[in-house]
Amino acid sequence: MLAAPIPADDKERLAALRALLILDTPPEERFDKIVQFAATEFDMPIALLSLIDENRQWFKAIVGLDVCETGRDISFCGHAILQPDIFVIPDARADERFADNPIVTGEPYVIFYAGAPLQLASGFTVGTLCLIDRKPRQLDATELAILTTLRDLLLEEMEAAHA
């Protein structure tokens, strides 16, 4: 397993995340409704608004999981925040970076993953809107565009709350 890499500017990225004053806050309908919409639109058992903190990923909005955080090292979203665009893993069992990851080989059995990076206007990527399935999947061009739109709507909400 390849642990989620730490970006060179992680200290500044974490400062940008913490300045949002969103970590460990209660669920909010404006985020929940977008994540729920994503889960329904793509027929995914799991959809998350995941924020990458120093040693954990913490979920501001959750569909399909009953935990509110996991370790950063095993997180797919920790990889996705380093990508310029949507990070798609069609079948984690066939990808050497993830095949023996405990969240692939055990609960919640992440097989398909798509994470749209949440890049703030400041340029720092603080988390993802991600979709997870327990079976291999692909997203076509229209679906990737829809996921991008939903990501942009989440970013609007996050930055509006902070403005």
Partner 1 sequence: MPEHLNMLLVEEQALLRKTVSLTARSLGLGTIHEAATMQAAERMLREQTFHGAVISLDCGTGQGCAYNLALLDKVRNGTSASLPTIPIAVMVDNATTDLLKELRDRRISRVILKPFRAKVLLDAFATFNPNATRQY
- Judge whether 90 and 136 are in contact, CB under 8 Å: yes
Smaller CB separation from partner 1, 78 or 117: 117
> In angstroms, what is the minimal distance from the CB of 82 to partner 1?
23
Binding site for partner 1 (CB under 8 A): 33-34, 37, 40-41, 141-143, 145-146, 148-150, 152-153
**H/E element holding 155?**
helix 141-162
> In angstroms, what is the minimal distance from the CB of 141 to partner 1?
6
Smaller CB separation from partner 1, 67 or 141: 141
> What is the Cα–Cα distance from 50 to 11, expressed in whole angstroms?
18
Smaller CB separation from partner 1, 105 or 148: 148
C-alpha torsion 15→151→27→88, nearest 10: -90
> In angstroms, what is the minimal distance from the CB of 74 to partner 1?
31
- Judge whether 50 and 58 are in contact, CB under 8 Å: yes
6 DSSP 8-state letter: P
Smaller CB separation from partner 1, 3 or 144: 144
> In angstroms, what is the minimal distance from the CB of 44 to partner 1?
12
